C-alpha cells in the first residue's frame, strides 16, 4: 500500500521528534517502518483504515500502529486520529467478538488496561478486520475499518528489527 509511505512522516512524529522513519517492508495492508532512537533501530507496524464512517465528514489522517514501548518491553498498540477526540470519551477497538477500550490524550489512544495489550495483539494476528470507534470533540461518532491482512508478517518483521 503505497499510501502508507506518504503518511509516514506525520505518524512518526508522535513516536519520536528527533528521527526520520523509513519504510522497511510492506505486507498486505500493513507496513513496517524504522527509525533510530538513542543510536538503536526501532521498528513499528502501521496501517490506515480501508473505510471511514460517516462518509460526509473530514476524518483527517488516521492510523493504527504497534510500536515497542519507549522504555523497552512489549509492543504497544496505538491509534492516531486525524482530529481531537471528545474529552472523557473512550475509543473502542473491536476484532470479532473481542472489544478493547482505549484511553485518549488529544488525538492519540492507547489500550486502557495495559494487561490487555497482548490479548489485543493476539486478536489482531487471528482476526481479519478491526473496527475502531471514536467520538470527535465536535460530538461526531466515527468508525474505521482496518484490514488485518499482513499484520502477522509485519509484527514478525518488527520483532526482528535490528
Question: What is the distance of C-alpha 1 from the center of its chain?
Answer: 15
Tens digits of per-residue pLDDT, 51-103?
999 999 999 999 999 998 877 778 899 999 999 999 999 899 999 999 999 99
Taking 80 as the threshold, does the pLDDT of residue 2 lie above it? no
Check: CB of residue 96 under 8 Å from CB of residue 107. no
Q: What is the CATH number of the domain that holds 7?
A: 2.60.40.1880
Report pLDDT digits (tens) over 101-150. 999 998 999 999 999 999 999 999 999 999 999 999 999 999 999 999 99
**Domains of the chain: total:** 1
- The domain of 23 spans 2-159
Amino acid at each position: 500500500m503505497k499510501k502508507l509511505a506518504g503518511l509516514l512522516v506525520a505518524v512518526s512524529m508522535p513516536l519520536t521528534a528527533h528521527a526520520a522513519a523509513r519504510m522497511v517492508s510492506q505486507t498486505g495492508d500493513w507496513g513496517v517502518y524504522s527509525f533510530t532512537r538513542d543510536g538503536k533501530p526501532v521498528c513499528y507496524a502501521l496501517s490506515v483504515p480501508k473505510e471511514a464512517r460517516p462518509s460526509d465528514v473530514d476524518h483527517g489522517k488516521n492510523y493504527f500502529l504497534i510500536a515497542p514501548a519507549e522504555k523497552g518491553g512489549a509492543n504497544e498498540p496505538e491509534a492516531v486520529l486525524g482530529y481531537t477526540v471528545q474529552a472523557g470519551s473512550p475509543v473502542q477497538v473491536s476484532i470479532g467478538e473481542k472489544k478493547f477500550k482505549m484511553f485518549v490524550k488529544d488525538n492519540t489512544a492507547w489500550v486502557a488496561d495495559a494487561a490487555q495489550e497482548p490479548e489485543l495483539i493476539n486478536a489482531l494476528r487471528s482476526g481479519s478486520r478491526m473496527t475502531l470507534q471514536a467520538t470527535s470533540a465536535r460530538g461526531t461518532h466515527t468508525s474505521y475499518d482496518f484490514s488485518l491482512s499482513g499484520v502477522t508478517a509485519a509484527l514478525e518483521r518488527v520483532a526482528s528489527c535490528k
